[in-house]
Structure 1
């Protein structure tokens, strides 16, 4: 991730007076203003915490929702342990590895693996994205059907490289990385999440350092998700890869996962 991130002005706002205290609390935690001109707003409302770009051509808001929408559809109809991500991290009969998702983002991949029974630790270093994820998990534990899955997910906010280097306790069996990949085609329309987050996070220019830290910590394997035609992350050659229509999983095994 580049240190020369563009400056983005973000304010926190309540969508209803009932959420004023929560908005004030988040503003304090994130050191953000509650008013003034801004390019983005972190909003509190009945549907939870959401990030929205302000302006006439802006896409809609982004929030983390593990209960409804696309994530719920994937939980119910996504293919279970036959999904490529499940195969990549080593899910198999009698084996549900403990996984560290060191680039958690909105938590979708981690939620899929938690749904399949993996105990998940998530790391997100961008404070606003981590806030969205924290809020989404808090709402998920209040839903009777999703609560057991959310209970499998532990969130750490901070720099994944530092946290992996200073890991306390038993190391994760599998570490999963999905570094942000530079979009070279400037004319391509990207998802609204990417449009919102790229000004905040930039590109993951330290992906090689992430991979080195992961290879040093994981007890059994490291998995790196990449766009299908992207080069491998510098610093190590995967033993094999699983390739889909748009994505690829590069796999760095250390020892076999057993039940």
Structure 2
């Protein structure tokens, strides 16, 4: 059986059951573990499936994002630990970007006692927190207001970011896989692309629940990311594949 036929059978099987184990695919298709893993890597690269612990599942489609008020109640412990690791990666006297989101807000909490940073953000909650609790210099990007996410988006944000020289960008997302970051909001695409161009180092900050989801608009290739800070539940197969792409993974 040629690879395309095997991959078609894998997709057909996944339509009838949520997760299929590697061992089950090996037995069903009568090939080696290595062959199955190559098939899965191919399907992952085109955004069809995602690895999970011991197996594979279809990519989940994200049609809309949760509001800031809902996000702040979810995975709070994981976000706090991600914020701690991220803050430790910030060199002295750095210019940093904190993307909109509640995970980036945790980084703001962690750096509030520092006095050597210049912080750029498009997030109103982050800017407000740092204004009240920090002496670091703060720049807000301005731009079109996204009420649900309490942030700004669009080309005005991108133009501002491209005018800056940024040491480290901490980028958030609601959906990513081996193909890259995606979003249901088209106005966020230019922001993600601009920050990747404007920054020396790009860190993806994301709890593992965001992995394996894909939204309508592709924002960044996974190769645009230098380091991913996540939690311990990200599957080992995903970590290994990221390492092969030269992307460092740090776990809370």
TM-score, normalising length from structure 1? 0.40
**Which structure shows the bigger proportion of residues in helix conformation?**
2
Output the TM-score relative to the length of structure 2.
0.41
Larger proportion of strand: 2
